[in-house]
Amino acid sequence: MSRAGGRARDPSARLAYRRGVGIMLLDRAGRVFVARRIDMPSDAWQMPQGGIDAGETPIQAAWREMLEETGTDRAELLAESRRWLRYDLPAELAAQLWRGRFRGQEQKWFAFRFTGADADIDIKRHKHPEFSDWRWASMAELPGLIVPFKRQLYADLVAEFAALVAR
């Protein structure tokens, strides 16, 4: 590993960001849908997110991901993030995920109001479910629930979408 300025260079720093979307699904009380990943041994919870397929717009990808990961699309669009938000994976994860092609994700986030009932949510509906459990959380809890390398992104989302809870 080469060194520059006394610090080891991260080999993933030269890689691109994977384009994706994220979904903040709010219930009528202003709580946010979060779920625990099947493939993560930690107690981290996250909001639904995923990649953008070829030919999809970001909003089309958000609707698809919502249906795949929550089992429902009973929602109405409230807002779209002003900009694309990024996070970097830790170097050891960057080498493993997505065949080592990306350093992290660059995501467009969408806030939706859930219009269904809790019984409409079915995280095991998709052929390959990503979550083992789900719950509603307060927006203020979000940064503390996610893995550390995504905390700033979640804090930025809370700041941008906080006004939606007052609606």
For 78-133, write each residue's pLDDT tens digit.
Answer: 999 999 999 998 888 777 777 778 889 999 999 999 999 999 999 999 888 999 99
Judge whether 11 lies within some domain: no
Judge whether 3 lies within some domain: no
CATH number, residue 135: 3.90.79.10
Number of domains the chain contains? 1
Judge whether 2 lies within some domain: no
pLDDT for res 2: 40
Judge whether 65 lies within some domain: yes
pLDDT for res 41: 67
Q: How confident is the model at residue 11 (pLDDT cuts 50, 70, 90)?
A: low
Q: Of the candidates 114, 109, 113, 87, which has an alpha carbon nearest to the alpha carbon of residue 160?
A: 109
| 144-151, Cβ contacts within 8 angstroms, sequence gap of 24 or more | 145/34, 145/44, 145/45, 145/46, 146/44, 146/45, 146/46, 147/40, 147/42, 147/44, 147/46, 149/87, 149/88, 149/89, 149/90, 150/46, 150/87
Judge whether 59 lies within some domain: yes
pLDDT for res 4: 45
Q: Is it the case that residue 40 has pLDDT exceeding 80? A: no
Judge whether 123 lies within some domain: no
Judge whether 6 lies within some domain: no
Residue 66 near residue 112, CB atoms below 8 Å: yes
Q: Which residues contact 44 (CB under 8 A, 6 or more apart)?
A: 36, 37, 145, 146, 147
For 51-81, write each residue's pLDDT tens digit.
Answer: 999 999 999 999 999 999 999 999 999 999 9
DSSP 41: -
Structure tokens at 94: 């960057």
Q: For residue 48, is it left (φ>0), alpha (ψ between -120 and 50) or beta? A: beta
Judge whether 51 lies within some domain: yes
* pTM, 2 dp: 0.89
- Residue 50 structural domain: 19-116+128-166
